[in-house]
Amino acid sequence: EVQLVESGGGSVQPGGSLRLSCAASGVTFSDHYMDWVRQAPGKGLEWVGRIRNKANSYTTEYAASVKGRFTISRDDSKNSLYLQMNSLKTEDTAVYYCARGIAVAGTVWVDPWGQGTLVTVSS
Amino acid sequence: DIQLTQSPSFLSASVGDRVTITCRASQGISSYLAWFQQKPGKAPKLLIYAASTLQSGVPSRFSGSGSGTEFTLTISSLQPEDFATYYCQHLNSYPLTFGGGTKVEI
Protein backbone atom coordinates (compact mmCIF):
# COMPACT_ATOMS: atom_id res chain seq x y z
CA GLU A 1 0.00 0.00 0.00
CA VAL A 2 1.30 3.42 -0.95
CA GLN A 3 1.71 5.79 1.99
CA LEU A 4 2.71 9.43 1.89
CA VAL A 5 3.46 11.25 5.14
CA GLU A 6 4.06 14.99 5.22
CA SER A 7 5.95 16.75 7.99
CA GLY A 8 7.58 20.08 8.75
CA GLY A 9 4.51 22.26 9.06
CA GLY A 10 4.15 24.87 11.78
CA SER A 11 3.87 28.57 12.49
CA VAL A 12 6.13 31.13 10.88
CA GLN A 13 6.18 34.90 10.59
CA PRO A 14 5.62 36.68 7.27
CA GLY A 15 8.85 36.80 5.30
CA GLY A 16 10.11 33.63 6.94
CA SER A 17 10.98 30.22 5.53
CA LEU A 18 9.87 26.66 6.09
CA ARG A 19 10.76 23.31 4.54
CA LEU A 20 8.15 20.61 4.21
CA SER A 21 8.97 16.95 3.68
CA CYS A 22 6.95 14.06 2.30
CA ALA A 23 8.09 10.52 3.02
CA ALA A 24 6.88 7.81 0.65
CA SER A 25 6.60 4.07 1.28
CA GLY A 26 5.09 1.12 -0.56
CA VAL A 27 6.01 2.60 -3.92
CA THR A 28 8.97 2.79 -6.29
CA PHE A 29 9.31 6.48 -5.53
CA SER A 30 11.90 7.20 -8.19
CA ASP A 31 9.51 6.21 -10.99
CA HIS A 32 6.88 8.82 -10.19
CA TYR A 33 6.18 12.49 -10.66
CA MET A 34 5.19 14.15 -7.38
CA ASP A 35 2.90 17.10 -6.71
CA TRP A 36 2.27 19.55 -3.90
CA VAL A 37 -1.28 20.86 -3.45
CA ARG A 38 -2.51 23.20 -0.73
CA GLN A 39 -5.83 24.13 0.85
CA ALA A 40 -6.34 27.33 2.79
CA PRO A 41 -8.66 27.00 5.81
CA GLY A 42 -12.24 26.58 4.63
CA LYS A 43 -11.25 27.02 0.98
CA GLY A 44 -10.76 24.88 -2.10
CA LEU A 45 -7.74 23.07 -3.49
CA GLU A 46 -4.83 24.94 -5.11
CA TRP A 47 -2.13 23.16 -7.10
CA VAL A 48 1.31 24.35 -5.96
CA GLY A 49 3.71 22.51 -8.22
CA ARG A 50 5.17 19.33 -9.63
CA ILE A 51 8.54 17.63 -9.94
CA ARG A 52 9.12 15.05 -12.63
CA ASN A 53 11.13 11.87 -12.24
CA LYS A 54 14.77 11.21 -13.10
CA ALA A 55 13.84 10.00 -16.57
CA ASN A 56 12.45 13.49 -17.15
CA SER A 57 15.41 15.27 -15.59
CA TYR A 58 13.68 16.20 -12.32
CA THR A 59 12.22 19.27 -14.00
CA THR A 60 9.65 21.31 -12.12
CA GLU A 61 6.48 23.32 -12.70
CA TYR A 62 4.95 25.88 -10.35
CA ALA A 63 1.80 27.87 -9.86
CA ALA A 64 2.26 31.58 -10.51
CA SER A 65 1.38 32.37 -6.89
CA VAL A 66 4.49 30.57 -5.58
CA LYS A 67 6.94 30.76 -8.48
CA GLY A 68 10.24 32.29 -7.38
CA ARG A 69 9.48 31.75 -3.70
CA PHE A 70 8.91 27.98 -3.45
CA THR A 71 11.23 25.21 -4.63
CA ILE A 72 10.31 21.56 -5.05
CA SER A 73 13.04 18.94 -4.79
CA ARG A 74 13.35 15.24 -4.14
CA ASP A 75 15.83 12.67 -2.88
CA ASP A 76 15.05 9.34 -4.49
CA SER A 77 17.60 7.57 -2.27
CA LYS A 78 15.49 8.59 0.73
CA ASN A 79 12.08 8.21 -0.96
CA SER A 80 11.45 11.81 -0.01
CA LEU A 81 9.93 14.92 -1.53
CA TYR A 82 10.53 18.44 -0.29
CA LEU A 83 8.96 21.88 -0.54
CA GLN A 84 11.22 24.79 0.41
CA MET A 85 9.06 27.83 1.07
CA ASN A 86 10.72 31.24 1.30
CA SER A 87 9.38 34.79 1.63
CA LEU A 88 6.20 33.39 3.13
CA LYS A 89 3.03 35.48 3.06
CA THR A 90 -0.10 35.28 5.18
CA GLU A 91 -1.95 33.97 2.13
CA ASP A 92 0.33 30.90 2.11
CA THR A 93 -1.45 29.67 5.25
CA ALA A 94 -2.87 26.28 4.29
CA VAL A 95 -2.73 22.55 4.70
CA TYR A 96 -0.09 21.28 2.28
CA TYR A 97 -0.55 17.87 0.69
CA CYS A 98 1.91 15.82 -1.31
CA ALA A 99 0.53 13.45 -3.93
CA ARG A 100 1.95 10.77 -6.20
CA GLY A 101 1.67 11.10 -9.96
CA ILE A 102 0.48 8.19 -12.08
CA ALA A 103 1.21 8.24 -15.81
CA VAL A 104 -1.88 6.87 -17.56
CA ALA A 105 -3.89 7.81 -20.65
CA GLY A 106 -1.57 10.47 -21.93
CA THR A 107 -0.96 12.51 -18.79
CA VAL A 108 -0.08 12.24 -15.10
CA TRP A 109 -2.89 11.95 -12.54
CA VAL A 110 -2.41 12.26 -8.79
CA ASP A 111 -3.27 9.49 -6.35
CA PRO A 112 -2.93 8.92 -3.47
CA TRP A 113 -2.41 11.97 -1.32
CA GLY A 114 -0.77 12.31 2.08
CA GLN A 115 -2.72 13.43 5.15
CA GLY A 116 -1.38 16.97 4.90
CA THR A 117 0.62 19.29 7.14
CA LEU A 118 -0.58 22.71 8.31
CA VAL A 119 1.47 25.83 7.66
CA THR A 120 0.40 29.02 9.43
CA VAL A 121 1.95 32.33 8.42
CA SER A 122 1.13 35.01 10.95
CA SER A 123 2.78 37.79 12.90
CA ASP B 1 -4.42 29.68 -17.56
CA ILE B 2 -7.36 27.31 -17.83
CA GLN B 3 -10.21 28.10 -15.44
CA LEU B 4 -12.59 25.40 -14.22
CA THR B 5 -16.10 26.40 -13.13
CA GLN B 6 -18.08 23.89 -11.10
CA SER B 7 -21.82 24.03 -10.62
CA PRO B 8 -23.60 24.00 -8.37
CA SER B 9 -21.30 25.08 -5.55
CA PHE B 10 -23.72 23.62 -3.04
CA LEU B 11 -26.19 20.78 -3.44
CA SER B 12 -28.77 19.47 -1.00
CA ALA B 13 -29.84 15.89 -1.66
CA SER B 14 -31.24 12.76 -0.03
CA VAL B 15 -30.03 9.19 0.18
CA GLY B 16 -30.99 7.41 -3.04
CA ASP B 17 -31.03 10.59 -5.17
CA ARG B 18 -29.29 10.82 -8.53
CA VAL B 19 -26.81 13.69 -8.37
CA THR B 20 -25.02 15.45 -11.22
CA ILE B 21 -22.18 17.94 -10.87
CA THR B 22 -20.87 19.96 -13.83
CA CYS B 23 -17.35 21.22 -14.51
CA ARG B 24 -16.77 23.67 -17.36
CA ALA B 25 -13.32 24.52 -18.69
CA SER B 26 -12.46 27.95 -20.09
CA GLN B 27 -10.84 26.24 -23.09
CA GLY B 28 -10.73 22.73 -24.49
CA ILE B 29 -8.89 20.18 -22.38
CA SER B 30 -9.67 17.01 -24.35
CA SER B 31 -10.36 14.35 -21.69
CA TYR B 32 -7.67 15.49 -19.25
CA LEU B 33 -10.01 15.89 -16.32
CA ALA B 34 -10.12 14.21 -12.92
CA TRP B 35 -12.71 14.18 -10.15
CA PHE B 36 -11.86 14.05 -6.43
CA GLN B 37 -13.93 13.50 -3.30
CA GLN B 38 -12.93 15.17 -0.03
CA LYS B 39 -14.47 14.58 3.37
CA PRO B 40 -13.93 16.99 6.27
CA GLY B 41 -10.44 16.79 7.74
CA LYS B 42 -9.32 14.24 5.15
CA ALA B 43 -7.18 14.29 2.03
CA PRO B 44 -8.87 14.29 -1.36
CA LYS B 45 -9.44 10.91 -3.00
CA LEU B 46 -9.27 10.32 -6.75
CA LEU B 47 -12.59 9.03 -8.09
CA ILE B 48 -12.33 9.39 -11.86
CA TYR B 49 -9.53 10.21 -14.31
CA ALA B 50 -9.44 10.75 -18.05
CA ALA B 51 -12.96 12.20 -17.66
CA SER B 52 -14.69 8.83 -17.45
CA THR B 53 -12.33 6.14 -16.10
CA LEU B 54 -13.25 4.92 -12.63
CA GLN B 55 -10.25 4.67 -10.29
CA SER B 56 -9.73 1.21 -8.82
CA GLY B 57 -11.85 0.59 -5.74
CA VAL B 58 -14.34 3.38 -6.43
CA PRO B 59 -18.00 2.23 -6.37
CA SER B 60 -19.72 1.91 -9.74
CA ARG B 61 -22.45 4.37 -8.72
CA PHE B 62 -19.90 7.07 -9.61
CA SER B 63 -19.50 7.89 -13.28
CA GLY B 64 -17.95 10.66 -15.34
CA SER B 65 -18.53 11.93 -18.83
CA GLY B 66 -17.60 14.72 -21.20
CA SER B 67 -14.73 16.03 -23.25
CA GLY B 68 -13.53 19.36 -24.50
CA THR B 69 -15.00 21.97 -22.20
CA GLU B 70 -17.95 20.35 -20.44
CA PHE B 71 -17.79 17.48 -18.00
CA THR B 72 -20.14 15.84 -15.52
CA LEU B 73 -19.78 13.68 -12.43
CA THR B 74 -22.86 11.59 -11.67
CA ILE B 75 -23.69 9.63 -8.55
CA SER B 76 -26.50 7.28 -9.55
CA SER B 77 -27.87 6.61 -6.07
CA LEU B 78 -26.46 8.78 -3.29
CA GLN B 79 -25.26 6.87 -0.24
CA PRO B 80 -24.65 8.26 3.28
CA GLU B 81 -20.88 8.03 2.80
CA ASP B 82 -21.07 10.18 -0.37
CA PHE B 83 -21.85 13.39 1.49
CA ALA B 84 -18.63 15.30 0.85
CA THR B 85 -17.10 18.02 -1.32
CA TYR B 86 -16.22 17.17 -4.92
CA TYR B 87 -13.54 18.87 -7.03
CA CYS B 88 -12.61 18.64 -10.67
CA GLN B 89 -9.00 19.15 -11.83
CA HIS B 90 -7.63 19.56 -15.33
CA LEU B 91 -4.28 18.09 -16.35
CA ASN B 92 -4.15 19.45 -19.89
CA SER B 93 -1.37 22.00 -19.44
CA TYR B 94 0.47 23.92 -16.75
CA PRO B 95 -0.56 25.38 -14.42
CA LEU B 96 -2.91 22.62 -13.34
CA THR B 97 -6.04 24.01 -11.72
CA PHE B 98 -9.00 22.82 -9.68
CA GLY B 99 -12.62 23.79 -9.82
CA GLY B 100 -14.07 25.64 -6.86
CA GLY B 101 -15.75 22.57 -5.42
CA THR B 102 -19.29 21.27 -4.92
CA LYS B 103 -20.45 20.51 -1.41
CA VAL B 104 -23.06 17.75 -1.29
CA GLU B 105 -25.12 17.87 1.90
CA ILE B 106 -28.21 16.19 3.24
| DSSP letters spanning A71-114 | EEEEEGGGTEEEEEE-S--GGG-EEEEEEEEEEETTEEEEEEE-
Task: Say what the alpha-carbon torsion angle A61, A3, A79, A16 is, to the nearest 10 degrees.
Answer: 60
Residues of B in contact with A50 (CB under 8 A): 94, 96
Please say if the pLDDT value at position A60 is more than 90.
Answer: yes
pLDDT tens-digit readout, A98-109: 999 998 888 899
Please indicate whether, in this complex, the C-beta atoms of A44 and B87 are within 8 angstroms of each other.
yes
* DSSP conformation class of A67: B
* Cα–Cα distance measured from residue B41 to residue A12, given in angstroms and rounded to the nearest whole number: 22
* Cα–Cα distance measured from residue A114 to residue A81, given in angstroms and rounded to the nearest whole number: 12
pLDDT attached to residue A104? 86
pLDDT tens-digit readout, A73-97: 999 999 999 999 999 999 999 999 9
- Cα-to-chain-centroid distance, residue B35: 4
Please indicate whether, in this complex, the C-beta atoms of A109 and B92 are within 8 angstroms of each other.
no
Please say if the pLDDT value at position A26 is more than 90.
Answer: yes
What share of chain A in percent tops pLDDT 90?
95
> What Cα–Cα distance (Å) separates residue A107 from each residue in A39, B16, B78?
23, 34, 30
Residues of B in contact with A104 (CB under 8 A): 49-50
Residue B64: CB atoms within 10 Å: 23
Cβ atoms of B62 and B54 within 8 Å: the answer is yes
Which of B31, B91, B92, B98 is the best residue to mutate to test the A interface, defined by the most A CB atoms within 10 Å of its own CB? B91
Evaluate the omega torsion of the peptide bond into residue B40 and state whether it is cis, within 30 degrees of 0: no
From B42's Cα to the closest Cα of chain A, the distance in A is 7
Query: Which residues, in sequence order, are bridge partners of residue B37?
Result: B45, B86
The tens place of each residue's pLDDT in chain B, 106 residues long, gives 999 999 999 999 999 999 999 999 999 999 999 999 999 999 999 999 999 999 999 999 999 999 999 999 999 999 999 999 999 999 999 999 999 999 999 8
